[in-house]
Amino acid sequence: MNSPGLLKLSRFLLAAALLLVCQPAFAAKRVALVLANSAYQNVAPLPNPVNDGAVMATTLRDAGFDVVDSRHDLSAVETRRALRDFADRAADADIALVYYAGHGLEVEGNNYLIPVDAKLERDTDVYDEAFSLDRILLAVEPAKQLRLVILDACRDNPFAKTMKKTLASRAIGRGLAKIEPTSPNTLIAYAAKAGSTAQDGDSKNSPFTIALSKHLTTPGLDVRRAFGFVRDDVLKDTGNRQEPFVYGSLGGDDVALVPAKVAPVAVAPSGPAASPQAEVRRDYELALQIGNKAALNAFLAQYPDGFYASLAKLQLDKIAAEEARVAATEKARLTEQERVRLVSEGAQKSQQAKAEADAKAAEQARIAAEKAKQLAQDQAAEAERKRAAAENSAAAAPQADKAVNLAALPPASTPQVDITRSVQAELRRVGCLTGETRGEWNAASQRSMALFNRYAGTKLDVKLANTDALDSIKLKSSRVCPLVCEHGFKADGDRCSKIVCADGSVLNDDNECEKRRDKKPVATRDTDRQQERLAPQRPPQASAKGAVGASIAAGAASARSGGSGQVYCGVTGCRPVSRGCHLEYRGGGGPGNDANAEVCN
């Protein structure tokens, strides 16, 4: 005879099964856009892309995707319209996937996908006639859990032979260029590694698409492991000539495009009755595995009180906090768009002021919702840790599949490292960080956050990267921190250019060009000695004094011999006045003009 506890468990399991089968609206929403271009109008058509697109569309529909929009042979205008419509569908999706097959090329490190009506007569036409990979990333941006872009476009550039280069230094690469997504939970898969080309294969489908259709939608298989299996198959089929590659990273949890199948729970008709606490624990774990409001509310209706009821209520609080955060984030985005629109249209100041106040209030509400969500998550996680300790459960079985080599895929990182790397990437985008985004919140990252606070007028925490900072920085659509260049360089848009001065000018300490100054000659000791050698020789002073003394003595001797005893001095020297003569003063004097004259009778 069945025990009452066993009957109670059976009723709960039946309710949970009905929730899984009859209420698909609670499952993750998955949307996909498939683009395939074969019928190119100005170059040779491609045989495989349309076939590849059909295979992928069928694969995703069979996997239960909510929306699979398949388009082929689109012009540039039609492609942009398709991406715009898909972005609207991805607004409330958990998983958004875009698959593209066709021609693509790389120009100066940027990747472009080519519509069927492109001519590309010049290299600059790519900016007008093609659409960039960033446009596709923008279309999948609203998805909450996974943003996935798959490109089977790494073929040789068919326009290379006829395309004219407007600038000799403009680089047009082979295949597609390497890319590092800046948004979290984003993966970009190439059919061939950056800088290499993919093969169409011998069948009507490419080796890459065949492998994708085989592994990508395996139920319960993490998407990173799925791409690892795709890589192995393509390498094998192409003789190691083509290696698919995936760029981007996800968190530590498994992310599968198709959820794992839940094995049916068999209820034994008879046997020893399980303990009531074990029954409650089993029911709680089943509700937690389903993970939506309906399952948790069904559990609380069956067990309204007790330890596990408290855990279920914390899980409901976490779900409600996440829903509030998503709604607040969307409202903040819309109010900010409205404010920007009013400013750009030159609306009345009162309208702009109201829009700015609404945007500020919405941003504050978003930050509060983010903090509430984090608090609810922390409380639920702490409660789960206490539950595990209380139950003294055995160590989790080693999961060997986690150690599978993911080949070319980057290793999965912790959620905090992903947040840190995303914040650093956004700081680089707005011009506040110049270093690399390695996921380490070091002193350089803290200084860059302080610069953002200074120029953006925010008060974000500089000691730790968090989702509040990430969302605040994302709201800035252009550079925030001014560009600072080293001496010898000047700001030129978003980069520093070297300052080149004209001939005859030099760069001074103020980083400005000024006219070069000529050096003035400076006299040296050798020059002074040379001038002394060239100067006329003067008689020594002692010799002149000796001559004057001798003349005076001669005058005295003349007086003793009957002369006047006077001495006459002129330019030629001094001598005694001749006998019978005397000196007369006639005035004047100075160089060349004797004041005395010798007068003889």
Answer whether 52's CB lies under 8 Å from 34's CB.
Answer: no
- pLDDT tens for 161-215 read 778 877 665 556 667 888 888 888 999 999 888 777 777 666 788 899 999 999 9
Instruction: Evaluate whether 309 touches 300 at the Cβ level (below 8 Å).
Output: yes
Task: Convert the pLDDT of each residue in 302-333 to its tens digit.
Answer: 888 888 888 888 888 888 888 888 888 888 88
Is the full-model pTM beyond 0.75?
no
pLDDT in tens, 57-99: 999 999 999 999 999 999 999 999 999 999 999 999 999 999 9
Residue pair 164/174 in contact (Cβ under 8 Å)? The answer is no
Residue 18 has pLDDT above 60, yes or no: no
Q: pLDDT value at position 137?
A: 93
CA proximity to 430, closest of 458, 402, 393: 458
Position 407 scores a pLDDT of 44
pLDDT for position 550: 56
Q: How much is the pLDDT for 271? A: 47
Domains and CATH numbers, the chain: 28-249 (3.40.50.1460), 413-474 (no CATH), 483-518 (no CATH), 547-600 (no CATH)
Q: How much is the average pLDDT of 271-293?
A: 72
Residues 6+ positions from 469 with CB-CB distance below 8 Å: 423, 449, 460, 461
d(CA 576, CA 12): 155
Q: How confident is the model at residue 379 (pLDDT cuts 50, 70, 90)?
A: confident
pLDDT of res. 276: 63
Q: Buried b vs exposed e over 220-250: b needs ≥16 C-beta within 10 Å?
A: ebbbbbbbbbbbbbbbebbeeebbbbbbbbb
Contact 475, 336 (CB under 8 A): yes
